[in-house]
């Protein structure tokens, strides 16, 4: 039986229906299929790193080299922020930084009843010399002191100029009042910097009475006024320390980075940030909390539940999970990342954050890590998902952004829990599906806005090197208004 011949109108109508069905199918979830994306690079990309152990790394650049100084008189240098070589470590007579520290600084060791240094900071002052602000602490109490050592060379040797600040004493303290550890500082963890107007400041403190600010004399390197200075936050032994301040000339804010929690592998160390228009505060977090209110209730001790309500949490314990088909099946999580410093390259406009971290199932072993740092549209810093590998973060095509991702949510808690990545998919039409659902959109300068459930995050899309999978991927890093960070790591290997 012959079929009937279709009229021209019928053929035209059929064509329109087929076209519309194609559009409707294209708008559905079947339009994009990411099942066959390359999970490994065509040519294995194995970037080498030379790691170093320097606890509490404070960075300074000099004559084209990057230097980090840390606790226990450890220091290292690098040309590229990826490969580090140790200069010295340990309070021993063979350390070139301070060759005979026990005899060079007898007053400091005697006061603090210790045989080692804690976190120092090094800065070059007006006279061209290098000033090391060192600190010693008994450890189980705030019996501490801070001193100054000077050198003509950044690598030392440094000569002692004496201690200038003490804490933990029985009786009258530096401000003339009886020392009270719930209100006054533990004088450790100095961060010394010039503000935008050329004034010199020191931010310092740990646990005990909190974080304080002192204006300094750039001619002597010493405080301009006696006493402990201005209190910025903390009190009643909140576990907050390691203040480091970075000025951003574009946003005109001073960003104070802090470590909350305990530094050990089971301490829940995590990095947070707040900001101010002036170097000595007041500082606020992204939710608008005045950080001066960040203090434990009277009579409390290590009240993490109070502390975690403050500050923008940038990074805590985390682990990127392995996906079948990827390289790097045995991936280790990072544990208690903290006590950071930051670096701003005025020529390139690049920011970096430098911190130490411990690792999953590796006890108290620790290494230095360097990540890029960006600023989102709200002017808050966000940390790149992977360590810096010399990559150009903008070397990717925007059409490569849709795809399958691993998602890490850092939360707000001070916790020993390991946050592990889950899987989501970003579709070209702006949908987010998977373990979290929502939407996303890209704007100028690689900025991304991603909504997951009821929370919206502002951040940056960047090209990253996945050191576990030995491949380049698309990544994103973003913050919510109430101070929670999310990271994304694309599964697809890109060129």
Q: Which active-site residues does the annotation give?
A: 56, 241
Q: How far apart are CA 85 and CA 90, in angstroms?
A: 15
DSSP single-letter state for residue 340: E
Of the candidates 166, 215, 216, 213, the one whose C-alpha atom is nearest the C-alpha of residue 186 is: 166
Give the CA distances from residue 406 to residues 239, 466, 486, 492, in Å, rounded to whole numbers and listed in that order: 31, 12, 10, 11
Q: Which two tokens stand for residue 216?
A: 């300094």
Which of 66-91 are b and which e, b meaning 16 or more Cβ less than 10 Å from the residue's Cβ?
Answer: bbbbbbbbbbbbbeebbebeebbbeb
Q: Is the peptide bond before 335 cis (omega within 30 degrees of 0)?
A: no
Q: Across the chain, how many H-helices and E-strands are there? A: 4, 30
If we measure between CA atoms, which residue out of 409, 406, 403, 386 comes closest to residue 462?
386
| CA pair distance 157, 98, nearest whole angstrom | 5
What Cα–Cα distance (Å) separates residue 455 from each residue in 13, 153, 309, 440, 489? Answer: 45, 50, 17, 12, 19
The answer to whether 486 and 478 have CB atoms below 8 angstroms apart is yes
* Dihedral angle, C-alpha 33, 37, 39, 44, nearest 10 °: -170
**CB contact burial 312-345 (16+ within 10 A = b; e otherwise):** bbbbbbbbbebeeebbeeebebbbbbbbbbbbee
Do 405 and 390 meet the contact criterion of CB atoms below 8 Å apart? no
The torsion angles phi and psi of 16, rounded to 5 degrees, stand at -65, -45
The Cα 234–Cα 308 span in angstroms is: 12
- Give the containing element (helix H, strand E) for 466: strand 455-466
SS3 110: helix
**End-to-end Cα spacing for the chain:** 58
For residue 360, give the 3-state DSSP assignment: coil
Written as one string, the DSSP assignment of 172-197 is B-TTSSBP-TTTS------EEEE-TT
Q: Are 272 and 256 in contact (CB under 8 A)?
A: no
């Amino acid at each position: 039986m012959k079929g009937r011949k279709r009229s021209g109108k019928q053929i035209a109508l059929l064509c329109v229906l087929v076209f519309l069905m194609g559009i409707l199918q294209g708008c559905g979830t079947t339009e994009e299929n990411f099942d066959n994306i390359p999970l490994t690079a065509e040519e294995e990309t194995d970037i080498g790193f030379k790691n170093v152990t320097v606890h509490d790394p404070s960075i300074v650049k000099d004559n084209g080299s990057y230097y980090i100084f840390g606790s226990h008189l450890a220091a290292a240098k690098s040309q590229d922020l990826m490969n580090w070589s140790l200069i010295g470590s340990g309070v021993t007579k063979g350390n070139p930084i301070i060759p005979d520290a026990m005899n060079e600084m007898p007053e400091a060791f005697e006061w603090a009843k210790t045989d080692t240094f804690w976190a120092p900071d090094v800065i070059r002052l007006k006279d061209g010399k290098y000033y090391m602000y060192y600190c010693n602490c008994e450890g189980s109490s705030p019996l501490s002191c801070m001193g100054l050592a000077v050198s003509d060379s950044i690598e030392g040797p440094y000569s002692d100029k004496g201690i200038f600040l003490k804490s933990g004493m029985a009786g009258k303290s530096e401000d003339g009042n009886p020392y009270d550890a719930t209100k006054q500082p533990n004088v450790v963890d100095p961060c010394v910097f010039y503000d935008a107007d050329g004034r010199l400041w020191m931010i310092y403190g740990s646990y005990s009475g909190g974080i304080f600010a002192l204006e300094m004399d750039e001619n002597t390197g010493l405080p301009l006024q006696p006493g402990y200075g201005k209190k910025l936050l903390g009190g009643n032994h909140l576990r907050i320390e390691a203040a480091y301040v970075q000025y951003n000339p574009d946003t005109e804010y001073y960003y104070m980075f802090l470590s909350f929690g305990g530094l050990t592998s089971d301490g829940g160390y995590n990095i947070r940030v707040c900001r101010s228009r002036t170097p000595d505060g007041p500082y606020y977090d992204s939710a608008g909390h005045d950080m001066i209110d960040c203090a434990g209730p009277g009579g409390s001790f290590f009240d993490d539940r109070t502390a975690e309500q403050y500050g923008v949490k940038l990074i805590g314990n985390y682990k990127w999970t392995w996906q079948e088909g990827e390289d790097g099946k045995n991936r280790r999580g990072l544990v208690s990342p903290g006590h950071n410093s930051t670096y701003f390259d005025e020529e390139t406009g690049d920011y970096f954050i430098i911190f130490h971290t411990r690792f999953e199932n590796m006890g108290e072993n620790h290494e230095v890590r360097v990540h890029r740092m960006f600023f989102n549209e709200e002017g808050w810093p966000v940390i790149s998902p992977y360590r810096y590998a010399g990559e150009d973060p903008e070397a990717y095509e925007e059409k490569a952004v849709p795809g399958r991702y691993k998602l890490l949510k850092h939360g707000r808690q001070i916790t020993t829990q390991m946050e592990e990545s889950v899987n989501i998919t970003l579709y070209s039409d702006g949908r987010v599906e998977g373990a979290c659902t929502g939407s996303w959109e890209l704007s100028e300068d690689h900025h991304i806005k991603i909504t997951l459930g009821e929370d919206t995050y502002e951040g940056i899309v960047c090209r990253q090197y996945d050191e576990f999978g030995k491949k380049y991927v698309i990544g994103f890093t973003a913050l919510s208004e109430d101070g929670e960070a999310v990271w994304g790591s694309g599964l697809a290997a890109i060129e």
